[in-house]
Amino acid sequence: MGSFEAMNANAGAGMRRWAPTAVTVLALLGAAGAVLTMAQPDQHGPGSPVVAAAPRSAPAAARGAARADAPTATPEGPEAATGAAGAPTAASPVSLRGSFSAEPDVTAVLRLPGRPPARGEGMFHTALGTGPILGRSGPLRTFSVAVEKGIGEDTAAFADAVEEILGDERSWTGGGVRLRRVGRNADFTVYLASRTQAGAMCLAGGINIRVDGRPYTSCRVAHRVIINLDRWRLSSPRYTEAKVPLAVYRQYVVNHEVGHELGHRHQGCPGRGRPAPVMVQQTLKLLGCRPYAWPRRNGKAWTGPPL
């Protein structure tokens, strides 16, 4: 064998002697790499801090100029009260710059489709900001607006609806009283609540709103005007049978319950076929009158005999 062949033979023998060692070293390096890989925290798994994305809000509906005076303080007053007997367990403020919930045009339907939820979370969103003074004369009373969480209703939309109703010249502000919506420290609060919550809150104030075992009507107790979600969405048979749009029933129920807060009691029908005074319990009966949603008519107070 020549020297070149001998060198190749010796090199081959050397490589054969080192092969097992090299395999072992490579195996050890591979294992160490695996351990190091396992020791690194998963960038998206439980071992890493995950920052939740901010919720995406729907485009805001047109509202005119933004309300820059919206307070940011935590809620106080009746909407922050707690209690097992039906009082709201909490309230979180919501700016009126939020988005509207989608629903059909309530001026064109008698009631909304679907079945309203029987209960929500028992806690309320309160609309922030300060609205304009409604009315031209009389003592000024303030009110806030709150919507129960988990019932699928938009706080800003409900607050706007209540303000629009109470600001109409046919409403209470048409003569003798002024009203203004505020975000806190209000004289009274207008709530929109599921029937379960409304029933509990009304009963806690001494009023049973049940009909056939179910919380049915709305009520006013202890500076709380409580609108039952079932009625807000489904109206009343007295109105639907008369083919009166849901928007008109909503005007009636807000005016009626706020009327109680302003000191007005139930009234009777002034004559068969005539418009019902707003303090008639029109949700349940019309007493021979026809549905009418306002406390004023033709620029004057529209009333009936006291009951």
Q: What's the pLDDT tens digit per position in 62-89?
A: 333 333 333 323 333 333 333 444 656 5
Q: What percent of the chain has pLDDT over 70?
A: 67
For residue 34, is it within any domain? Answer: no
Share the mean pLDDT of the chain: 78
Q: Which domain holds residue 213?
A: 78-97+105-301
Percent of the chain surpassing pLDDT 90: 66
Does 50 map to a domain?
no
Encode pLDDT of 117-145 as tens digits. 999 999 999 999 999 999 999 999 999 99
Answer with the residue of higher pLDDT: 296 or 43: 296
Number of structural domains in the chain: 1
Asked whether residue 41 is domain-assigned, the answer is no
Write down how long the chain is.
307
Per-residue confidence (pLDDT) for residue 72, from 0 to 100: 29
The pLDDT tens digits of the residues spanning 39-68 come to 333 333 333 322 222 333 333 333 333 333
**Quick one: which of 102, 95, 195 has its CA closest to 145?**
95
- Using pLDDT thresholds of 50, 70 and 90, give the confidence band for residue 104: confident
Lowest mean pLDDT among 16-30, 116-130, 196-210: 16-30
Q: Is residue 68 part of a domain?
A: no
The Cα–Cα gap between 46 and 214 comes to: 46
Q: What is the pLDDT of residue 103?
A: 75
Would you say 234 and 112 are in contact if contact means Cβ atoms under 8 Å apart? yes
Residue 34 has pLDDT above 60, yes or no: no
Beta-ladder partners of 146? 126, 191
Q: Let me know how many helices (H) and strands (E) the chain has, helices first.
A: 6, 11
Beta carbons within 10 angstroms of residue 258's beta carbon: 27
